[in-house]
Amino acid sequence: MTAVRVSARKVSEQLGERLKQARLNRNITQEQVARQIGISRRTVINAEKGQVTLENLVAILQVLGLASQLDSFLPAQPLSPVQLMKLQGARRQRASGQGESEGADEGVREEPTW
């Protein structure tokens, strides 16, 4: 295994331990957490070992009253100037001069066919 993989595993295990300690501090059983979320007790046990899906982690944090901590963990990221430009698309720089011809009926518009 690579060093990054081992490090990620260790971090996951530490987060699992913190999750377990937060549950114990609130005097809530694994069964109670599982029942409130609608998952199995085994899933809670695995979460406390650091093996959890993101969705279940968030749900457990909500039950423990810790979901607000997620903002500190991973704050919202602003868009980079490059991303902003991509989202804006190509802006027109000048008129093409190929609009309606002078002889067109003014004020008469066809209804869109959508």
d(C-alpha 79, C-alpha 60), whole Å: 29
Q: Considering its fold, how many domains does the chain have in total?
A: 1
SS (H, E, C) 15-72: HHHHHHHHHHHCCCCHHHHHHHHCCCHHHHHHHCCCCCCHHHHHHHHHHCCCHHHHHH
pLDDT of residue 86: 80
The pTM of this model reads 0.67
Tell me which residue range forms the domain holding 36: 3-73
Residue 111 lies in a domain: no
Residue 102 lies in a domain: no
CATH number at 27 reads 1.10.260.40
Q: What is the pLDDT along the chain (114 residues), one digit of tens a residue?
A: 556 666 899 999 999 999 999 999 999 999 999 999 999 999 999 999 999 999 999 999 999 999 999 999 899 989 888 888 788 776 666 787 776 555 555 555 565 565
The one-letter amino acid at 14: Q
The one-letter amino acid at 80: S
Residue 8 lies in a domain: yes
Instruction: Specify the DSSP class assigned to residue 80.
Output: P
Instruction: Map residue 112 onto helix, strand or coil.
Output: coil
Task: List the structure tokens of 83.
Answer: 């991303």
Residue 87 lies in a domain: no
pLDDT of residue 27: 98
Residue 95 lies in a domain: no
Residue 76 burial by CB count (10 A; 0-12/13-18/19+): exposed, middle or buried? exposed
Residue 62 lies in a domain: yes
